[in-house]
C-alpha cells in the first residue's frame, strides 16, 4: 500500500514537536504517551502480525495431526516386529538348525570311535550348499586304513529342504593320554536362495580318554652314589588294538647326569622306537653317572608318545609321563660288586650254575673310617641259599647276608684314607625246574663306619646300593631216532644193511623250565650219507636247505613250563665201511631263542642222533649196528 503523509515525518521529529508544544491541562492522571484509544495511523506490520497469528493457529493444528500419525505408525511397527520375532515369519536362523551327535563319551586311547550325526533344518526355507565338518585331534587315524591320517571329516550335503533331516555315520581311531578330555569342533555352513551371505553354526563333541594306548614303566635305584654308574630300564608297552607308528620316548635329564651308554640311539634326549604292534613292548636301557652332593635329589622325566614323522624326535601326542627320583649319597666308602667278573648293570646268569661274587672297596674320605662294615644281603627266588660260602667274610643265614667286618678282616678296624680291600663269596642258582616265572637275584650292599666329623667328634656314617641280576631260562632239548614207532611210518631193514636204504624218524623235543621264550628254533646238519625225505609231523614248521644240508624246526613262542615236539624223516643208506657201527644220522642239535624276561638270547645243545632207536618197542643194541 502507498505510504501515508504522516510517514514522511520521522518519529524523532514528531517527538521533538510534542516536546516543545505547549502542554494542555491534563484531564486525567495518565501521561500523554499512555493515551489510549484508536490509533489514527495503523502501521503496515500490524496487518502482517495479525496474518501471522492466524497462520500460526493453523500450524499448531497440523503438528498434532502429524504426531498422531507417527504414533500410530510406531504402534503398527512394534506389533509387526513382535510378530516376526515370536512367530518367525520367513527369517533364516542358525538357532533353527539342530545338530545331534551320538557316540561314546569315554574311550580308551587308540580305540575306533563311531559317531552318528543327525542334522535337522527347522527354518521355513531350504538351505543351499550345506556342508558339515568335524576337526579331529592330532594323531587321529582312518578306521579304514590305519596308515592314513584323518585330521578332519568334511562333506557337502547339497540342499537341505525345510523340515528335512539327514544322518551321517563315520569312524575314526582317536588317540590321547589317560584322563585327557578332547573336544571335537563341529561346524555346519550353508547359504540361502537369493542371498550371497554365508551362515555358520558351531558346536562341539567332548571325548574323555579313560586309558592310554602306550604305557611306560621306569626301573632304577632310588639312591645312588655320586659318580657311580646309574642304570634306567624303560619299558614301553602298547595297549592299543592297532599298530602305533612313530613312537617316541622323550626324556628330560637333570643337571649332573651324564649318559655313558644306551641300548638304542639317543637323539637329543629322545629315543625313536618306530612302530609297536598291539600288545608288544620295547625296552630301552639308559646308563650314566650322576654327580652331586650328599642327600641331593634329582628328578628324571620320561614321556612316551607319537610323532608326525618317523624322524621327528618330539611327541606330538603324549600318552604317559613317568618320573624317577634319585637321591645322591656321599660315597665315603666306594664299593664295586662283580658277578663272575662282570661289573655291568645288566648281568644275566644261568640256572643251576655256580656263581662267584667279588667285592672291592675304597675309603674316599680324607679321614680314617673305623669299625667299617660292609654287608651284602642276597634276595630273590633263584638263589640256592644252602650253597653260599665265603672265605674272608661271615655268612649270616638268618637274613641271607654276607658280612665283611673287623671280625673277619682286621684292616676294616681302621680304614685309612685311600685304603682299599677285597672280599669274595660264592653261591649257586637253583635248577631251571625249580625257578619261578621271573627268576632274579638282588644284591643289597650296605656300608657303615665311624669317621671324625666336621665338629671333630666321631660321626656314624652309612650308605647303601643295590644290584639286580636276572636268571635266564633253561630249555631242555632232546633228540632221538625211531623206526618201528612214531607218527611217521618207516621202511627198510633193521638192523640196517649196507647199500640198502632204511628210513628213520628224528624226534625233537624242547621243554622250557623258566620264563617265556620267543622265536624258538632248532637246527641240525645231516651227514652226506643221509637224505631228507620231506615227511614231517608234530607242531611248528620244518624247512630244509639242500646247499648246507641243514634242517630247521621253527617252534615260535615257548611259554613257561611249556613243551613242544616235532619230527622229520631221513633216509639212511649205509656203506660197507660203516659195518659194525651205529653211524650218526644228524650232526649236533642246537636250540636258540630269546628270553623275554632276561632280555638275552639263550642256546641249548643236544648230542647227534644215531641209528640207536631206544624208544622203539623191543629195541636191542644190535638193531643199531650196520650189517
Please provide residue 413's backbone torsions phi and psi, each rounded to the nearest 5 degrees.
Answer: -65, -35
Strands (E), 453-588: 458-472, 475-482, 502-512, 517-525, 530-538, 541-545, 550-558, 563-572
pTM of the model: 0.45
Residue-wise DSSP of 55-96: HHHHHHHHHHHHHHHHHHHHHHHHHHHHHHHHH-TT---GGG
User: Averaged in consecutive runs of 10 residues, what is the pLDDT profile of the chain (627 residues)?
Assistant: 52 66 51 48 49 50 74 73 54 86 84 90 89 88 81 91 91 79 91 83 88 85 78 90 87 90 89 90 92 84 86 80 84 82 84 91 84 91 93 93 92 88 92 79 87 55 74 89 93 95 96 86 96 94 95 90 93 95 95 88 93 94 94
Distance between CA atoms of 505 and 251, rounded to whole angstroms? 55
Distance between CA atoms of 327 and 299, rounded to whole angstroms? 9
> What would the pLDDT profile of 183-222 be if each residue is shown by its tens digit?
999 999 998 887 787 889 999 999 888 777 888 889 988 8
Please provide residue 22's backbone torsions phi and psi, each rounded to the nearest 5 degrees.
Answer: -60, 140
Distance between CA atoms of 80 and 91, rounded to whole angstroms? 14
Distance between CA atoms of 243 and 562, rounded to whole angstroms? 28
Q: Which of 554, 551, 545, 503 is nearest to 525 (CA)?
A: 551
Give the chain's count of helices (H) and strands (E).
2, 38
Helix (H, G, I), strand (E, B) or coil at 560: coil
> What would the pLDDT profile of 245-266 be if each residue is shown by its tens digit?
889 999 999 988 989 899 999 8
What does pLDDT average to over the chain?
84
Contact 597, 517 (CB under 8 A): no
Amino acid at each position: 500500500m502507498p505510504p501515508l503523509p504522516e510517514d514522511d515525518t520521522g518519529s524523532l521529529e514528531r517527538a521533538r514537536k510534542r516536546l516543545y508544544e505547549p502542554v494542555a491541562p491534563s484531564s486525567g492522571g495518565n501521561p500523554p504517551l499512555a493515551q489510549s484509544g484508536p490509533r489514527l495511523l495503523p502501521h503496515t506490520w500490524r496487518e502482517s502480525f495479525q496474518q501471522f497469528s492466524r497462520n500460526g493457529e493453523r500450524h499448531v493444528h497440523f503438528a498434532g495431526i502429524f504426531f498422531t500419525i507417527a504414533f500410530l505408525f510406531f504402534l503398527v511397527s512394534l506389533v509387526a516386529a513382535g510378530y516376526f520375532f515370536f512367530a518367525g515369519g520367513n527369517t533364516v536362523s542358525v538357532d533353527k538348525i539342530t545338530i545331534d551327535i551320538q557316540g561314546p563319551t569315554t574311550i580308551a586311547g587308540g580305540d575306533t570311535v563311531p559317531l552318528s550325526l543327525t542334522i535337522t533344518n527347522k527354518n521355513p526355507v531350504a538351505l543351499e550348499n550345506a556342508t558339515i565338518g568335524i576337526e579331529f585331534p592330532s594323531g587321529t587315524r582312518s578306521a579304514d586304513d590305519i596308515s592314513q591320517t584323518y585330521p578332519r571329516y568334511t562333506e557337502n550335503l547339497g540342499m537341505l529342504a525345510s523340515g528335512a533331516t539327514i544322518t551321517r555315520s563315520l569312524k575314526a581311531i582317536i588317540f590321547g593320554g589317560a584322563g585327557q578330555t578332547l573336544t571335537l569342533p563341529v561346524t555346519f555352513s550353508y547359504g540361502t536362495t537369493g542371498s550371497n551371505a554365508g551362515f555358520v553354526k558351531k558346536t562341539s563333541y567332548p571325548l574323555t580318554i579313560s586309558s592310554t594306548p602306550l604305557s611306560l614303566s621306569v626301573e632304577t635305584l632310588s639312591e645312588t652314589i655320586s659318580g657311580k654308574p646309574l642304570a634306567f630300564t624303560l619299558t614301553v608297552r602298547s595297549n592299543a588294538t592297532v599298530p602305533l607308528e612313530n613312537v617316541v620316548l622323550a626324556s628330560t635329564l637333570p643337571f649332573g647326569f651324564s649318559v655313558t651308554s644306551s641300548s638304542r640311539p639317543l637323539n637329543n634326549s629322545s629315543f625313536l622306537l618306530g612302530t609297536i604292534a598291539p600288545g608288544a613292548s620295547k625296552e630301552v636301557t639308559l646308563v650314566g653317572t650322576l654327580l652331586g652332593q650328599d642327600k641331593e635329589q634329582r628328578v628324571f622325566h620320561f614321556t612316551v608318545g607319537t610323532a608326525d614323522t618317523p624322524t621327528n624326535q618330539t611327541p606330538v601326542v603324549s600318552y604317559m609321563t613317568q618320573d624317577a627320583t634319585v637321591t645322591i649319597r656321599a660315597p665315603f666308602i666306594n664299593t664295586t660288586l662283580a658277578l663272575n667278573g662282570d661289573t655291568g648293570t645288566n648281568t644275566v646268569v644261568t640256572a643251576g650254575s655256580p656263581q662267584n661274587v667279588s667285592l672291592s672297596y675304597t675309603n674316599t674320605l680324607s679321614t680314617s673310617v673305623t669299625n667299617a662294615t660292609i654287608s651284602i644281603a642276597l634276595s630273590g627266588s633263584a638263589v640256592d641259599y644252602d650253597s653260599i660260602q665265603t672265605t674272608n667274610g661271615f655268612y649270616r643265614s638268618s637274613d641271607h647276608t654276607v658280612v665283611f667286618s673287623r671280625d673277619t678282616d682286621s684292616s676294616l678296624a681302621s680304614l685309612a684314607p685311600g685304603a682299599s680291600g677285597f672280599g669274595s663269596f660264592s653261591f649257586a642258582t637253583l635248577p631251571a625246574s625249580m625257578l619261578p616265572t621271573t627268576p632274579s637275584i638282588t644284591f643289597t650292599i650296605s656300608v657303615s663306619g665311624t669317621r671324625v666329623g666336621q665338629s671333630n667328634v666321631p660321626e656314624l656314617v652309612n650308605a647303601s646300593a643295590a644290584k639286580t641280576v636276572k636268571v635266564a631260562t633253561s630249555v631242555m632239548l632232546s633228540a632221538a631216532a625211531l623206526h618201528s614207532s612214531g607218527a611217521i611210518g618207516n621202511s627198510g631193514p633193521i638192523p640196517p644193511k649196507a647199500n640198502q636204504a632204511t628210513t628213520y624218524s628224528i624226534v625233537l623235543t624242547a621243554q622250557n623250565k623258566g620264563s617265556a621264550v620267543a622265536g624258538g628254533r632248532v637246527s641240525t646238519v645231516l651227514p652226506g650219507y643221509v637224505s631228507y625225505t620231506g615227511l614231517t609231523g608234530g607242531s611248528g614248521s620244518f624247512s630244509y636247505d639242500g646247499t648246507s644240508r641243514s634242517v630247521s624246526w621253527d617252534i615260535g613262542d615257548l611259554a613257561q613250563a611249556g613243551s613242544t615236539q616235532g619230527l622229520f624223516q631221513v633216509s639212511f643208506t649205509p656203506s660197507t665201511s660203516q659195518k659194525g657201527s651205529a653211524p650218526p644220522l644228524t650232526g649236533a642239535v642246537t636250540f636258540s631263542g630269546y628270553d623275554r624276561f632276561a632280555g638275552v638270547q639263550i642256546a641249548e645243545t643236544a648230542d647227534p642222533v644215531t641209528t640207536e632207536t631206544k624208544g622203539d618197542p623191543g629195541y636191542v643194541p644190535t638193531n643199531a649196528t650196520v650189517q
